[in-house]
Amino acid sequence: MIIRKARLSDSEAIHKLVYHYAKKGLMLARSRSAIYEDIRNYSVMEEDGEVVGIGALSILWVDLAEVRTLAVKESFSGQGVGKKLVQHFLEEAKELGIQKVFTLTYQTAFFEKCGFKEISKEGMPHKIWKDCLNCPKFPNCDEVLMEMEIK
């Protein structure tokens, strides 16, 4: 398995994975146009030419980034794909000089295993909420905010 930056040709596989979990209420949906617009933020894990995991690192400020849209094909669940993608994004953040990485998630146990800690939403800068304004759950977000400091 390899992790690489996503290409436009991966957009359908990304959308399919996101849609699969969004329809189950396990993650927020992303439109195809949003995936195209943010394709440079995405990385994919690939095995034998098949996309088996996806995620994105979105830079929000000089010292702040978000791990978002993390999903693993169900047939690869429990094989470390998600954890490897998170580690990849944390390394990328460190290389960029990012000091804090956060995520908004329903999968708190997974992110705790990756070293994230739950924090209060009120403590984060308003800049992180720009995407939330278009979310159907705004302003009653039920995702959990978790953060990790990069050293």
Give tens-digit pLDDT for 23-36: 998 888 889 999 99
Interval 86-102 mean pLDDT: 96
141 pLDDT tier (thresholds 50, 70, 90): low
Domain ranges of the chain: 2-149
pLDDT for residue 119: 86
73 vs 136, residue with greater confidence: 73
139 pLDDT tier (thresholds 50, 70, 90): low
Task: Assign residue 69 a region (left: φ > 0; alpha: ψ between -120 and 50; beta: otherwise).
Answer: left
Write down the pTM of the prediction: 0.87
pLDDT for residue 75: 93
Question: What is the tens place of the pLDDT at every residue in 35-75?
Answer: 999 999 999 999 999 999 999 999 988 889 999 999 999 99
Burial zone of 95 (CB within 10 Å; 0-12 exposed, 13-18 middle, 19+ buried): exposed
Q: Which two tokens mark 136?
A: 């159907």
Q: Is residue 133's pLDDT more than 70?
A: no
Whether 104 and 144 have beta carbons less than 8 Å apart is answered as yes
User: What average pLDDT is seen over the chain?
Assistant: 88
Helix (H, G, I), strand (E, B) or coil at 146: strand
Write down the CATH number for the domain with range 2-149. Answer: 3.40.630.30
